[in-house]
Amino acid sequence: MCIFATKKTKIQANMYMDPAYQKLIECGIRPSLQRIEIMRYLQTHFTHPTIDEIFNDLRAKIPTVSKTTIYNTLRMFSEKGGALMITIDEHRVCYDGNTTPHAHFCCKECGKVYDLFDMQPPVAQSKTFGGFQIDDAQLYYKGVCPACLEKQPKSEKVS
């Protein structure tokens, strides 16, 4: 056993314990510092961020990161099961670092996206249906969240 540990080996040892690093390895993604930071961001920000939000938050920490790098990294994460890509509409795509099966709710008033862990998305019994190959199934609802409902007059609320 080596008594003298260098700063580099301490950093490497800590990196192997990092949940973001572990997630990348589990998904078959080669870890890089930028990929680890983007994954760590997804794992610690439960707001379902967009590419712009991730870019704006990370560029102070990683000055060399570009929107293109974030876009390509998130696309790879989605393809390899490291993140969920949630298409809200043709103008807004969000990302979720929680890849366990769950549904989402998008508020039409404030635009926030919520995780619905009690509502499981449909699971296909087989990977094919009616001649189609099923690769992914996502479920999300649109409506008004409790916070926005509180702001509405009683006459507008649906019972």
Residue 10 pLDDT: 47
pLDDT of residue 15: 67
Question: 69 and 113 in one domain?
Answer: no
List the domain range (segments joined by +) for residue 56: 1-82
In this structure, the answer to whether residues 56 and 104 fall within a common structural domain is no
Using a pLDDT cut of 70, give the percent of the chain over it: 83
Buried b (16+ CB within 10 A) or exposed e, 84-106: bebebeeeebbbbbebeebbbbb
Report residue 75: phi and psi, to 5°.
-65, -45
Q: Are residues 139 and 78 in the same domain?
A: no
The answer to whether residue 12 scores a pLDDT higher than 90 is: no
DSSP 83-118: SEEEEEETTEEEEES--SS-EEEEETTT--EEEETT
- 115 touches 84 (CB < 8 A): no
Tell whether residue 106 is among the known ligand binding residues. no
Task: Render pLDDT for 125-156 as a digit per residue (tens, 0 to 9).
Answer: 567 778 888 877 788 899 999 999 999 887 66
Q: Which residue has the higher pLDDT, 156 or 61?
A: 61
Residue 138 lies in a domain: yes
Domain count, the chain: 2
- Annotated ligand binding at 110? The verdict is yes
pLDDT band at 2 (very low <50, low <70, confident <90, very high): very low
Q: What is the CATH number of the domain that holds 141?
A: 3.30.1490
Question: What average pLDDT does range 22-39 have in this prediction?
Answer: 96
Q: What pTM was estimated for this model as a whole? A: 0.80
Q: Which residues contact 53 (CB under 8 A, 6 or more apart)?
A: 47
Amino acid in position 13: A
In a shared domain, residues 7 and 65: yes
CB-based contacts of 43: which residues, under 8 Å, 6+ apart? Answer: 19, 20, 23, 97
Closest CA to 121 of 97, 138, 141: 138
Inside any domain, residue 89? no
Q: Is residue 50 part of a domain?
A: yes
72 and 118, same domain (yes or no): no
Same-domain check for residues 4 and 58: yes
Residue 55 domain-assigned?
Answer: yes
Q: Is residue 112 part of a domain?
A: yes
Same domain, 35 and 78: yes
Q: What is the pLDDT of residues 63-101, one digit of tens each?
A: 999 999 999 999 999 999 999 999 988 889 999 999 988
CA distance 155 to 8: 63
